[in-house]
Amino acid sequence: MEEIDIKKLANSIKSGANLVIKNKNELNRINIFPVADGDTGSNLAFLMQSITDNLVSHHDTVNSLLTNVASAALLGARGNSGMILGQYLNALAEDYAQSDLSTEQLVFSFKTALVKVYDSLLDPKEGTILTVISSWSEKLVDTYQKTQSFEESLSQAQMIAEKAVLDTQFQMSILKENKLVDAGAKGFYYFITGLTETFSQNLPLDWMEETVPSSITNYPSALSSSKHLISEKPSYRYCSEFIITQPSISDKKLKDQLLNKGDSVIVIGNKQQLKVHIHTNNPKDVLSLLSQYGRISYQKIDDMLLQYEVNTKPVSSIAIVTDSIADIPSDLLLKHQIHVIPMPIQSESNHYLDKLSIDSQLIFEKGINTSQCSTSQPTIQSIDNLLSFLQGKYDHVIVITVSSKLSGTYQLVKQRIQTKKLASQWITVIDSKANSVAQGLLVMKAAELVEKSLSFNDIITILKDTINRLFIYVAVADLSPMLQSGRIPLSLGKMAQNCHILPIVSLDSFGEGKLMTISFSQKQSIKKIANKIKKLFRHHQIDRLAIAYVYSENQVTLLKYYLKDYADKIDYSVASSTSIAISAGKDSIAIAGILKKGER
């Protein structure tokens, strides 16, 4: 019986992964199914990067190699095609581990693994990555039965896979009308092409830097089209993914439970953990359901509607990015195509994503103990995912973060940009020295400037000047949350508590919390804030004004009553982020503004 060179197989897998990563942008360009969100390449590249990053340097057996690949694939699987390929690699490892571990059984495992992939899907679609995997694996088995050569089987299967990819442009109407092949299918073809070329010719890992296989360069021009002629608006807004550790439910039963929560449902994994993919309008509901069956250790939620709008009707060549601490109404975020990095929220029992799987309303309705909640800076993964999506879509990117004195987000984004060696003339990061609704107003200012077609450098200059004219006043109902979160000095806060007073909280010019005028009740604080705002209006000093509140709108009504002569000057009122809710407390209210130029 033929024996496989384990080191050669490992290198071949890495080569296949690298070829997918290298062609990420092309796969993004041709991505129009199931949603024209232009991220299939990014998702598959992320999966492949996870495999290459986590593949250990030495394996004693093919079984340990496949198990290692499967574990990395489960971690890195994203999006429809990524989840399907991730499940295929997991099922391959699982089936092979239960066999006699021969080369013949490995070949058969490539085919039998496909059964589990189909089982993981609610509505399998042909003319996609599924069809190409099926054609490839069937030819692999058929050729091996005739030749008993793994190398020859790979070569023959690669040719069949190429034809299967080409055929996808005729199997679904949306692909036929666009004269495009399926992006996920072509991504799989890149993977097995890199694997086959390296294994058959025993090439070094860097072979693709010198040449590209003729089978790829000879593709018809339609396969490299950079235009979406026809695309469909997503039926559901959010592409959501979750990992449940130690699940108390099987993958099949969980899939049935998700039937009425959205579409594109995929459940992959094993008894230790399950990974769920679903397109839904209510990630919070999905998370609530999943939480019944285990601990949520990971989640990713992408706004497909925003991605669709960016790909089909971009408002500007300059992207505006912020974090979820910036309080801005969701309709304005979508209208101005503002990209938001969600802040992770952790409670005693679960992980959440701010404004996506948890919000300030829900945290109090669920009775979650906010004193046991904490916020952290965004994950490296979430930042890298967004940067990957933005590349190739925008001429420039402006990232506006929460004050660096309150969070490490600013430094983290800068570090990721430096690590990825992104040009300073393509992307810049601005420390807002603000938070909440003040940060939100700065972001909205940036959105307006880019839509006026100002230059990248001019916009940055104007924004930095605007930061000096930002102000925010916060009236809290209880000082304890701010003390616990470290948003105000401990000694001053304790003194205020001992005296039973509620100070008005603001930020200084460095973006750190400070205590201002004291009051004996929140109502009195709100009235004092209103008097400050009215004075600024009387002197014609206010350019923009907005309000953020935690949980109840009663304080908004009260503030607007005190500002009744100027209430129509308020740009918007919005529920605050969960991060702010945790640090400011229930029923707190913030009003922020931008002073007119020349004012401080």
| Residues whose CB is less than 8 angstroms from the CB of residue 571 and which lie 6 or more positions away in sequence, other chains included | 441, 444, 544, 545, 546
552 vs 409, more confident? 409
Beta bridge partners of 598: none
The pLDDT assigned to 507 comes to 93
Which CATH number fits the domain that encloses residue 149?
1.25.40.340
Counts of helices then strands in the chain (DSSP H, E): 25, 17
From residue 302, how far is each of 239, 346, 400, 540, 556 by CA, in Å?
Answer: 5, 19, 19, 41, 31
Average pLDDT over residues 155-165: 95
Q: Does one domain contain both 122 and 209? A: yes
Q: What single-letter DSSP state applies at residue 291?
A: G
What global pTM score does this model have?
0.78
Q: Rounding to the nearest 10 degrees, give the CA dihedral for residues 236, 238, 241, 242.
A: -100
Boundary residue ending a domain (260, 289, 309)? 309
Residue 276 located in a structural domain: yes
Residues 150 and 157: beta-carbon distance below 8 Å: no
- At residue 490, the pLDDT reads 63
Confidence of residue 495 (pLDDT cuts 50, 70, 90): low
In a domain, 261, yes or no: yes
Does the residue 506 lie in any domain? Answer: yes
pLDDT of residue 131: 94
Residue 544 contacts residue 585 (beta carbons within 8 Å): no
555 found inside a domain: yes
pLDDT in tens, 530-562: 999 999 999 999 999 999 999 989 999 999 999
**Is residue 109 a contact partner of residue 99, using CB atoms and an 8 Å limit?**
yes
What's the pLDDT at 210? 44
164 plus 267 within the same structural domain: no
Same domain, 195 and 111: yes
Q: What is the CATH number of the domain that holds 277?
A: 3.30.70.3100
Domain boundary among 263, 289, 309: 309
H-only helix segments in 98-128:
103-119
The predicted structure's pLDDT at residue 502: 86
Cβ contact 378:412 at 8 Å: yes
Does the residue 23 lie in any domain?
A: yes
350-366 pLDDT, tens digit per residue, is 789 999 998 888 888 77
pLDDT of residue 497: 61
Residue 91 maps to a domain:
yes
Peptide bond into 34 cis (omega under 30): yes
pLDDT at position 269 over 90:
no
The verdict on 278 and 160 lying in the same domain is no
pLDDT at 206: 55
pLDDT digits (tens, 9 = 90+) for 16-75: 999 999 998 899 888 887 777 778 888 899 899 999 988 887 888 999 999 999 999 988
Q: Are residues 247 and 111 in the same domain?
A: no
- 195, 302: one domain: no
158 in the same domain as 29: yes
Range of the domain at 508: 470-595
Residue 45 and residue 19 in contact, taking contact as beta carbons nearer than 8 Å: no
30 and 179 both lie in a single domain? yes
Same domain (yes/no): 113, 188: yes
Does 140 lie in the same domain as 281?
no
Does residue 573 sit within a domain? yes
User: What is the C-alpha to C-alpha distance for residues 537 and 387, in angstroms, rounded to an integer?
Assistant: 40
**Boundary-marking domain end, from 267, 292, 309:** 309
Mark whether 240 and 208 lie in a shared domain. no
pLDDT band for position 213 (cuts 50, 70, 90): very low
Query: Per residue in 321-380, pLDDT tens?
Result: 999 999 999 999 999 999 999 999 987 777 899 999 988 888 887 777 777 778 888 988
If you average pLDDT over every residue of the chain, what do you get? 88
CATH number of the domain where residue 547 is located: 3.30.1180.10
| Structural domain contains residue 231 | no
pLDDT of residue 32: 80
Average pLDDT in the 506-527 region?
90
Model confidence at 214, pLDDT cuts 50, 70, 90, reads very low
Q: Is the pLDDT of residue 472 over 60?
A: yes
Same domain, 165 and 304: no
Task: Report how many domains make up the chain.
Answer: 3
pLDDT value at residue 329: 96
d(CA 352, CA 330) in angstroms, rounded, equals: 18
